[in-house]
């Protein structure tokens, strides 16, 4: 028999970015802008990420690919490594992610972090003991706001499991 458990989470979906608060709109605009600095000659999929830290700094990053494909790194993980290298255990209040697909120049819906990045976001927030709020959006179209990145990784594995 066992116990059937249910996992449910809520997120906010906006019709477009004009409905965002000023600070969030600015952060998303930084994520959009920085996509231009992605190094993505293999996928042509340019991703930009921007984080507002609790120390009020904004840090941006992009995906960095490699001819040896698995050596490529997503924008989210480049961002986390940059933040921790610059500021140590800095709490991230909000992290915005945007992109443009240069194969067809489309960017009309939100994308959400890949599985490996979800694991990295999880570890980052456990480490600094502060939830990361996510804003996900293309250059146009709907915007998704998720209050805590851990919502994207139910039943996650962490260092605590190895204690």
Scan residues 39-98 and list those touching ligand THU (CB under 6 A): 40, 43, 45, 47, 63, 65, 72, 74-76
Q: Does 139 bind ligand THU (CB under 6 A)?
A: no
**Of the candidates 113, 120, 128, 150, which one interacts with ligand THU according to CB under 6 A?**
113
Scan residues 13-32 and list those touching ligand THU (CB under 6 A): none
* Distance, CA of 145 to CA of 14 (rounded, Å): 8
Structural contact between residues 59 and 86, judged by C-beta atoms closer than 8 angstroms: yes
How many residues appear in the chain? Answer: 163
Give me the torsion for CA of 60, 65, 71, 75, rounded to 10°.
20
Token pair recorded at residue 134: 């996510």
Told to judge if 76 belongs to the known catalytic residues of this protein, a careful annotator would answer yes
Structural contact between residues 42 and 69, judged by C-beta atoms closer than 8 angstroms: yes
Nearer to ligand THU, 12 or 66 (CB): 66
Catalytic site positions? 76
Residue ranges in contact with ligand THU by CB under 6 A? 40, 43, 45, 47, 63, 65, 72, 74-76, 111, 113-114, 117
């Amino acid at each position: 028999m066992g116990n059937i458990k249910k996992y449910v989470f809520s997120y906010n979906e906006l019709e477009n970015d004009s409905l965002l608060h000023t600070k969030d709109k600015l952060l998303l605009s930084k994520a959009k802008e920085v996509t231009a600095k992605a190094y993505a000659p293999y996928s042509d999929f340019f991703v930009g990420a921007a984080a507002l830290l609790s120390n009020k700094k904004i840090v941006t990053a992009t995906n960095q690919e490699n001819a040896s494909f698995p050596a490529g790194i997503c924008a989210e993980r480049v961002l986390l490594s940059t933040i921790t290298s610059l500021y140590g255990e800095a709490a991230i209040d909000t992290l915005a992610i945007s992109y443009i697909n240069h194969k067809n120049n489309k960017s009309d819906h939100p994308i959400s972090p890949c599985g490996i990045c979800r694991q990295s976001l999880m570890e980052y927030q456990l480490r600094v003991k502060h939830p990361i709020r996510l804003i996900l959006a293309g250059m146009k179209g709907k915007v998704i706001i998720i209050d805590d990145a851990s919502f994207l990784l139910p039943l996650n594995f962490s260092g605590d499991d190895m204690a």
